[in-house]
Amino acid sequence: MTSLDVSHLSVNFGDRTVINDLSFTLQAGEIASLLGPSGCGKTTLLRAIAGLLQPREGTIRLGTQLVGLSSVVLPPNKRRTGYVPQQGALFPHLNVAQNIAFGLSKKEFSQAEITKTISEMLALIGMPGYENQMPTELSGGQQTRVALARALAIKPKMVLLDEPFSALDAELRNELRSEVVALLRAQGTTAILVTHDREEALVSSDKVVLMRDGKIAQYGSPEEVYESPISPSVAVSTGDALVLSAHQAKDGSTSYALATLSAPTGAVSTNNGYVVIRPEEISVSKSSAAGVAGTLIQLDYYGHDAMLVVKLSDSSEIIRARVAGPMDFAVGDLVKVEHRGPIRFFANA
Ligand code: ATP
């Protein structure tokens, strides 16, 4: 178990800067998710931490050990990071036992120790007896488990997982993700999980690193990045969000399609901008006298809840509201909508 300190890290491919002056820290035993659009540099950052890429500038420390900077790079096997790459993680010509033992050097460990580690890892991932199976004989979920066992077998200081669940169907993905997170937590392993999936990022980690164009857009706990996004675009990348035009007056009140509300902070300079609302912060009623009138124009039913799409009568703004089931709404209903959550106002840049 170790802490991670990435400081002012920049990584280039030729002239192109892909990671740009990026800094963050992780406490020992914390799990972080790297979340961001395709091409923003998630895999590059992970590979730099693993020692597979040399930074142009900046430093990477595992605990007190300086493992990466532009002039010196400790090779991957010396920094003891377990790396689980994207799909195709297993060596196809090696069986399960050989895959798990791959990082265990025969100079460092006796054959008896290696055999014992293989058994321990297979027990850990719930696959005892699979030593002689070949990767092609395993399901996608089993392959991911073996890749994780191989990463953990070296008793890593840190585990780096690059979208390990992306090839799996939704049910297996959720199941395996909670198993893997429970396993990492039980071992107290510091870990980074790369994902495109915002729910996966929120549910799996202590910290979310939101990346954009090689930089950190926001870094914080899942609650911080979801409840207090620093911009409308960050709000959209961590969950469903409504972004409505808004105006903030001198007295601090904020007007937007659903209300004029006083801000608790008091007087501010006047500003045009946006408010960001989560759909679960909107309530919809067919009988309430309070609220803003509109017509239900779409109902997406998910079982555990539904997304109601309401067109407001006065402003023609479209409002999405997440409503827990059971419910008795139908498209065409005349409804009232109310915003019950916090006001997140962002002035125009
Ligand atoms: P994805 O979510 O699609 O996997 P990512 O956020 O992990 O994307 P990276 O794989 O880190 O993104 O790539 C970041 C940028 O660096 C991309 O524009 C990519 O084309 C470029 N890149 C990645 N690897 C190399 C390489 N070996 N040589 C040149 N450019 C590269």
pLDDT tens-digit map of 93-145: 999 999 999 988 778 888 999 999 999 889 888 889 999 999 999 988 888 88
Q: pLDDT band at residue 70, thresholds of 50, 70 and 90? A: low
Residue with tokens 């953990």: 152
Residue nearest to atom 29 of ligand 1 (CA): 13
> Which of 10, 33, 44 for a ligand 1 pocket mutation test, highest count of atoms within 8 Å of Cβ?
44
Average pLDDT in the chain: 88
- Please tell me the predicted confidence (pLDDT) of residue 266: 55
Q: How far is the CA of 81 from the centre of ligand 1 (A)?
A: 21
Asked whether 278 lines ligand 1 (CB < 6 A), one says no
What confidence score (pLDDT) does residue 53 get?
87
166 CA → ligand 1 middle, Å: 17
Task: Give the pLDDT band (50/70/90) at residue 71.
Answer: low
What is the predicted pLDDT for the residue at 88?
Answer: 57
Residue 252 has pLDDT above 80, yes or no: no
Return the minimum-mean-pLDDT range out of 32-46, 55-69, 189-203: 55-69
Residue of 10, 16, 22, 40 to mutate, ligand 1, most atoms within 8 A of C-beta: 40
pLDDT recorded at residue 315: 80
Mean pLDDT in residue range 30-53: 92
Whole-structure pTM over 0.75, yes or no?
yes
CA dist., res. 240 & res. 165, Å (int): 22
If you measure from the C-alpha of residue 70 to the centroid of ligand 1, how many angstroms do you get, rounded to a whole number?
A: 19
Give the tokens for residue 75. 């090779």
pLDDT class of 39 with cuts at 50, 70, 90: very high
Give rounded-to-5 percent helix, strand, coil for the chain. Answer: 25, 35, 40
Return the pLDDT at 336: 94
Strands 81-84 and 4-13: unpaired
Q: What are phi and psi of 3, to 5 degrees?
A: -90, 165
What percent of the chain is modeled with pLDDT above 90? 54
CB 104 within 8 A of CB 114: yes
Q: Is 44 in the pocket of ligand 1 (CB under 6 A)?
A: yes
**pLDDT attached to residue 69:** 66
Which residues fall within 8 angstroms of residue 142, CB to CB, at 6 or more apart?
A: 127, 130
Residue to mutate (ligand 1; options 9, 43, 86, 161; most atoms within 8 A of CB): 43
Per-residue pLDDT, 271:
85
User: Is residue 263 over pLDDT 70?
Assistant: no
Lowest average pLDDT, out of 267-271, 287-291, 311-315, goes to 267-271
Q: What angle do CA 17, 3, 32 make, to 5 degrees?
A: 65
Tens digits of per-residue pLDDT, 186-211? 888 999 999 988 999 999 999 999 99
User: What proportion of the chain, given as a percentage, has pLDDT over 70?
Assistant: 94
Distance between Cα 157 and ligand 1 center (Å)? 25
Cα 192 to averaged position of ligand 1 atoms, centre (Å): 17
Q: What is the pLDDT of residues 164-192, one digit of tens each?
A: 887 777 777 888 888 889 888 988 899 99
Higher pLDDT, 337 or 52: 337
| Residue range 248-255: mean pLDDT, rounded | 82
User: Residue 61 pLDDT more than 70?
Assistant: yes
DSSP symbols for 173-241: HHHHHHHHHHHHHHHT-EEEEEES-HHHHHHH-SEEEEEETTEEEEEE-HHHHHHS-SSHHHHHHHS--
pLDDT at 288: 85
